[in-house]
Structure 1
Amino acid sequence: MSMSRRDSLRLATFSAVAAPLAGAVVSCGNGTGGNDSGNENEGSTGRLLESAADLPEPGTVPLPVPPVLEPRSSDAEADYYVITQRSGEAEILPGLITEVWGYDGIFPGPTIVSRTGRRTVVEHRNDLPVPVAVHLHGGHTPPEHDGYPTDLIFPRSGWESRYELPGDTTEGSRVYEYPMNQPAATLWYHDHRMDFTGPQVYKGLAGFHLVHDDEEEALPLPTGDRDVPLMICDRAFDEDGSFLYPALSSDLVSEPGVANQYMSGVLGDAILVNGAPWPYLEVADVRYRFRLLNASNARRYRLVLDPAPEGVAPFVQVASDAGLLGAPIEHDAIVTAPAERFDVIVDFSGYSVGTEVVLVNEFGEGRTAEVMRFRVTSEARDDTEIPDRLSDFVPLTRESADAEHRARFSREAPNTHGPGPNLWTINGQTFSPDTVDARIPLDSTQVWRLTTNVHHPVHLHLVRFQVLSRNGGAPGPYDAGWKDTIDLGSEEEAEIIMTFSGYRGKFVYHCHNLEHEDMMMMANFEVT
C-alpha cells in the first residue's frame, strides 16, 4: 500500500474508535471496551451486533441444501469447473431481499465433490467490485493454488492500482488446481483476501468441498439424502434485509478492519444453517450423517439435542476436520469453533413420528440459543451401521518429531507498536507477507506448541495435524483424529504434531476468528 500496511491499519482503526454504526446495538457481554483483551460473549470472543430487521420465528423456514456443481468438462485425470464470484439476491429473511456476494451468486456456494487421487481444477472468475482470493480450507495444495492472501484475483470490470503487494495477482480470473492427494474429508472453500477476509466471507463467499474415497464408501454409513452438509454461521441484518457488518469502509476498498469495539470478533444475532435462519429439516426415524461446519466469523457453539434420544448417544462422531476417525466417538454435545468440522451420526429411531427435535446452542442466549429443528415425519427402513473401526488411523508420536516450534497468539499492548489500539499478533509480530516465522525442511515432522492469552481457533494451511496434549495433559474430547483447526481457550497451551510433506513453498497459519485474522493475527511458514 502507499503507506505500510501496519501503519494504515492502525491509523484507520484508531480513527474509528467513536465512529457510529447505524442500526447496531452493542452488547457488552463481559467486555469492558474496544481495547480489552478480547471480551467473551455467549461463549465466544467477540461483540454482539444486533439486527435492525425483524427476524423470523425459529422453525418456519425449510433447510436448503447447496446444489452440487457439475464439471464443465472431464478427462481421464481431472474434472474442470468454472465458478463466477458475483453479487446475487437471496430471500434470507422472509419478505426481504439480501444482497450476497456468492460463488455463482449464491450463499452458500455450490458444493464441489471430488475423489481422492483425481485432480480437481477450478477456474474462479471475479465479477465482484473488489479483489478476491480463494482458499480450499483443509486442502493439501501447492502454494500457488492455496489462496495466499496476496495472490489476488482483480475484478473483471477493472481495478485501479490501489495496492502494491508482493503476491501473484491476476486480472479477472484464476485457475486453481487441487491434486486431491488426501483422504475423504469435509472441506470448504472461502475467500482469503488479505485484510478483508472477515467481511467478504460474511457477505457469502463460502461453500462446501467434499472429498470421497474407497475406504469411506466401503463403510455402511448413511449416504444420499441422509448425508447432509450443515454450514452453521451467524449474521446480523439491517432493516432493509442487507447484511449488517461494522466495516470501516462499506465498499471494502480503502480502509481494512472493523469499528474498534468489534476488533475482538463480530457476533450476529441470527443463526443461519445453509443460508436459512433457524430452519427445519424433515427426517425419517433412521440414522443421518450430518457434516457440521462452523462457518461463523467468531462464534463458538455447544450443540445439543433437545430432547435427547433415549438409549443412544445424541452424536456419534465419525470424522474430524481432515478425515475419518480411527473409531467412532460418542458425544453428548459438540463444541465447535470457527472453521472446525465434525461429521456426526444422529439416530432418530428413538423418537416417535411427530417429534420435533431442537438443535440447541448452549453457548447462546435468547435467539442464538437455537440453531435448527428436526421434525420426525415418517418411518423408514435403516440398513446403515456405525462400525467399530472406521479407518487405518496411525497416531504420530513425539519421538518421530525432528524439531519444535512455538507460537503465541496474543493481543499486544499499544506501547509495543506505537499509538493506537492493541493489535492481534503471533509471537509478538503482526502479519507481513515478507516475513517468514518458521522455515521447515520438506518431509520434516514437527511438534508445535501453541499458547494463547484469549480464545483463538488456530488454523494451519497445507498440513493436517494430530493433537498431542492440552495444558500438559491429554487432548480434549474434540481433538481426536486429523485436524487442521484447533480450538484454544484463554490462557491455554496445546501441542500438535504434523509432517510437512508434498510441496515446498510459503504458506500461512493464523487465527480463524476472521476479525483477528484481518487484524494481522497471521504468520508465514516456508517449506524448504
Structure 2
Amino acid sequence: MTDKIDLKRRRLVQAVGLGAALAATPGFPVILKKESFRRRGREATAAFAPDVEIELVAAPGRDQILPGPATRVWRYTAKVVKGDPGSVIPIPNTYLGPILRFRTGQRVRITLHNRLPQLFITHWHGMHVPFEADGHPSYAIGPDETYVYEFKVENRAGTYWYHPHTNMITGAQAYAGLAGLIYVEDDEADQVPLPRGEYDVPLVLQDRTFDESNQLKYDRRGPIALFGFLGQRILVNGRPDYALEVASRSYRFRILNGSNSRIYKLAWSDGEPVTVIATDGGLLERPVTRPYLMIGPGERCELWRDFSKAKGREVRLESLEYHGVMPPPYEQMIAAGGAMGMMGGGRGGMMGGGGAMGMMGGGRGGMGMMGGMRGGMMGGMGRQIIGGPQGMMGSIGPMMLMANHIPQGSRFTVARFRVTQKPRTLEYQELPTKLRPLPRLRLEDVVNPDRPRPIAIGNHGRQFTLNGMAFQMTGALPIETFPVNTIQLMEIFHEHGAMEMEGEHDERTRHGSPRAMGGMGGGMGMAMMMAMAHPIHLHGHYFQIIRRIPPEAGGMHGSAEGYETVKEGFVDEGYQDTVLVMPGERIQLIKPFDKYKGLFLYHCHNLEHEDGEMMRNFKVV
C-alpha cells in the first residue's frame, strides 16, 4: 500500500463524482479500482460466534420523494440472518436504511454486499469497535464484493448511525441516500421511564437539491468544496415538508443531523425550551434545557417534548437564524442579498472565475483572495451533476448549485407536529428528574495533563488541514500516536496560516510532508477568508468536553459577535463523538484510547471537507 494518491487521478475522481456513477458511466469504477491502497474484502471468522447476524446491501434504487417522477437514489437494505428479528427495523416510505437495533454485550456480525458501481465501505458512527470493523477507507471493497464486520457491542445505550466512509466520495455516497440509524439498548436505560413505542420517534435531518425531473443534484467542486453542500429542500426521514400527527402527551425524538454540511439551530415555534435528554453517547445524568440547540453534521441528540398543552395546534421544530459559522465571503454574499447575483460567472462577480479580480476570483492565483485564472477554486461551470451522457438528470454548474440553496444560518421550518390525537396511553408521560449515572472522565486520570494532544484546524492555501496535514491513508504523526488503554487530554483549535510558514519548528510540522509546509502566500488574509465552523468527529471511543474557550473579540480566526448567536445552544454534559468547533473557538476534551489498536480516523464531518482530505489517523499502539 501507499499513502500517496496521484493528484491528477484524485482530481478526476472529484470531477466525475456521483453523477457519472449513478448513470453507470463507463470509467468511474475502473478509475477507483486502480487505487493502490485497496485491500481485499474481509471474510467471516470461524471463531467468532455472533448473537446477531445481518446481511446489509448497498445498491441503487428509486424512491418517491416528490410528486412526479421517482428519484434515483442509493440505499441500504438489511435482513436478519440469525438472532432477534427486531434487530432490523425498516423506516417506511424512505430511502434511508433500516434502524439496526442492538444490545450492549451482543456479538454482531454484519456482511456488507456492495452492489454499487464504486468502491464502498461503511462506518458505524459512534460505535466503539475494532479497527477492522470501523469502516476505515483502506478496507473499501469493489463492486460485487463483500466485507464482513464482527464486533462486540461495547457502547452504552444511545442513538448512533451508519454511513459510507469511502475515500474522497463519502459526501456523494451519503448524499445519494446511504445512511441509517443504530439504536443500542441496555438494561439500565430500559429502566428509565421515557416515552417508547410509537412515542419514540426518529428524525433524520438532511437537505437536498432536485432538478426539474426530481433527480438529485450534487457537485462538490468550486465554492461547495470550501463551504460544503447546502440544499434547496429540508428533508426529515427522507421526506420534504415533514409533518407528523401527534397525541397530546410527551414524546422522545431521536435527532440525527445527517446533512452533508448544514448546521441546525433547533427551537420550538411556541417558545417552549428545548429539553435535551441525550447526546451522541447516550442519556445524560439529568435533563437539561436550552433556548435552542446547535447540532452539527454527524451529531445526535434526543429531545423530550410534551404536547399536552398544545391540543388542536401545530407546533413547529424550527432552525433559527445565526451567523459567524461561515467564511466572511459567504456571509457577505448572503448579507448582500443572496447568491444569484454574487456568484455569477461574470468578470466582476464575487466568485466569478473568468480571471477578473473579484473577491474570490483573481489573475493566476496572485491578485484575488482565493481564486485562480480560469478554473481556479471558485471557477468552473456546467458539469453534469447526477446524470450521464444522455442527460437523464440534467446539468448544472457548482456556482448555480451553490446559488440556489437555503443559506447556512437562515431561519426555516424543519418539521411540523399537529396535535390532533388522543394518547393511547399516558405511561411514561412525566419527565424524569434523573436519567442514568454518567461516569465523568477526570483530568486527574489523563496521562498528559500539562500537554494536551493538538487537533489544529488549518489550511494550506485552499485546502483545509488537520495538524498541518492532508489525509494519508495509513499515515500518522507522532502526536497522532497513542498508547492503548490510556486516557488523553486533547485540544481542538484554529491555526489558519500559522502552520504553513517556512522555518516553523512545531512538532506538528517537523513530521510533515512538503505539501503541509511552505509559505502560504496569503498569510493573515487567507486565514480570515478560511475561518469557519467545523464539526470534528473522532473515531473510536466517545469523549467528554471539559472546556470551551470562545473566540476573542477582534481575533483573526473567528467572530465573537457570531459566537453570541450560538453559544447558548451547546450541550456538553454528556458523552460525544462529534463536536462543532466555531471559528476561533478552542475546545478541550478528554478521550479514552482503550482496548483496540490500529488506525482510527478523525476528520471534519462537513463531508465536502472530509472528501477534500480534511482527515487524519489516530494510531493506537
TM-score relative to the length of structure 2: 0.66
Residue 431 of structure 2 is aligned with which of 386, 389, 402? 386
- Matched pairs, number: 432
Task: For residue 491 of structure 1, report the CA deviation from its aligned partner.
Answer: 1.3
Residue 112 of structure 1 is aligned with which of 73, 91, 100? 100
The amino acid across from 1:212 in the alignment is E
Q: Distance in 2 between matches of 1:395 and 1:207?
A: 29
Whether the aligned pair in 2 keeps the contact of 1:84 and 1:104 (CA below 8 Å) is yes
Task: For residue 284 of structure 1, report the CA deviation from its aligned partner.
Answer: 0.3
Instruction: Calculate the aligned-residue CA RMSD, in Å.
Output: 2.5
Structure-1 residue corresponding to 2:513 = none
Task: For residue 434 of structure 1, report the CA deviation from its aligned partner.
Answer: 3.0
The amino acid across from 1:7 in the alignment is L
Superposition pairs for residues 102-501 of structure 1, below 5 Å?
102-104=75-77, 107-156=95-144, 172-247=145-220, 258-309=221-272, 314-352=273-311, 354-363=312-321, 369-380=412-423, 381-384=425-428, 385-403=430-448, 404-413=452-461, 422-437=462-477, 438-452=480-494, 453-471=531-549, 477-501=570-594
Task: For residue 315 of structure 1, report the CA deviation from its aligned partner.
Answer: 2.5
The amino acid across from 1:481 in the alignment is G
The amino acid across from 1:426 in the alignment is L
Whether the aligned pair in 1 keeps the contact of 2:292 and 2:568 (CA below 8 Å) is no
Deviations 1:277-326 (A, max 9, x none): 021001000000000100000000111111234xxxx4221111011111
The amino acid across from 1:504 in the alignment is K
Unaligned runs of at least 5 residues, structure 1: 17-74, 157-171, 248-257, 414-421
Whether the aligned pair in 1 keeps the contact of 2:294 and 2:570 (CA below 8 Å) is no
Question: Relative to structure 2, which stretch is displaced further, 107-116 or 262-271?
Answer: 262-271
Whether the aligned pair in 2 keeps the contact of 1:92 and 1:277 (CA below 8 Å) is yes
Whether the aligned pair in 2 keeps the contact of 1:410 and 1:454 (CA below 8 Å) is no
Q: Distance in 2 between matches of 1:15 and 1:391?
A: 48
Whether the aligned pair in 2 keeps the contact of 1:270 and 1:367 (CA below 8 Å) is no
Matched position secondary structure for 1:153: coil
Q: Distance in 2 between matches of 1:523 and 1:206?
A: 22
Task: For residue 411 of structure 1, report the CA deviation from its aligned partner.
Answer: 2.2
Question: Relative to structure 2, which stretch is displaced further, 429-438 or 296-305?
Answer: 429-438
Task: For residue 499 of structure 1, report the CA deviation from its aligned partner.
Answer: 1.1
Structure-2 residue corresponding to 1:524 = 617
Structure-1 residue corresponding to 2:31 = none
**Shift in CA distance, 330/368, structure 1 to aligned 2, threshold 3 Å:** closer
Percent of residue pairs identical: 37
Whether the aligned pair in 2 keeps the contact of 1:479 and 1:486 (CA below 8 Å) is no
Structure-1 residue corresponding to 2:339 = none
Task: For residue 97 of structure 1, report the CA deviation from its aligned partner.
Answer: 1.0
Q: Distance in 1 between matches of 2:215 and 2:239?
A: 14
Whether the aligned pair in 1 keeps the contact of 2:252 and 2:302 (CA below 8 Å) is yes
Task: For residue 332 of structure 1, report the CA deviation from its aligned partner.
Answer: 2.4
Structure-2 residue corresponding to 1:506 = 599
Whether the aligned pair in 2 keeps the contact of 1:505 and 1:526 (CA below 8 Å) is yes
Task: For residue 501 of structure 1, report the CA deviation from its aligned partner.
Answer: 0.8
Task: For residue 139 of structure 1, report the CA deviation from its aligned partner.
Answer: 0.4
Matched position secondary structure for 2:230: strand
**Shift in CA distance, 410/12, structure 1 to aligned 2, threshold 3 Å:** farther
Deviations 1:235-271 (A, max 9, x none): 1111111110015xxxxxxxxxx34554320100100
Superposition pairs for residues 7-18 of structure 1, below 5 Å?
7-8=7-8
Q: Distance in 1 between matches of 2:230 and 2:547?
A: 29
Whether the aligned pair in 2 keeps the contact of 1:469 and 1:475 (CA below 8 Å) is no
Matched position secondary structure for 2:308: helix
Q: Distance in 1 between matches of 2:150 and 2:174?
A: 22
The amino acid across from 1:8 in the alignment is K
Whether the aligned pair in 2 keeps the contact of 1:184 and 1:211 (CA below 8 Å) is yes
Matched position secondary structure for 1:221: coil
Q: Distance in 2 between matches of 1:407 and 1:334?
A: 25
Deviations 1:80-111 (A, max 9, x none): 11111111110111123111100029621011
Whether the aligned pair in 1 keeps the contact of 2:225 and 2:609 (CA below 8 Å) is no
Matched position secondary structure for 2:7: helix
Whether the aligned pair in 1 keeps the contact of 2:205 and 2:256 (CA below 8 Å) is yes
The amino acid across from 2:105 in the alignment is G
Matched position secondary structure for 2:60: strand
Q: Distance in 2 between matches of 1:224 and 1:241?
A: 34
Name the structure with the higher helix share.
Answer: 2
Task: For residue 334 of structure 1, report the CA deviation from its aligned partner.
Answer: 1.5
Name the structure with the higher strand share.
Answer: 1
The amino acid across from 1:184 in the alignment is A
**Shift in CA distance, 135/391, structure 1 to aligned 2, threshold 3 Å:** same
Whether the aligned pair in 1 keeps the contact of 2:50 and 2:109 (CA below 8 Å) is no
User: Which is higher, the Rg of structure 1 or of structure 2?
Assistant: 2
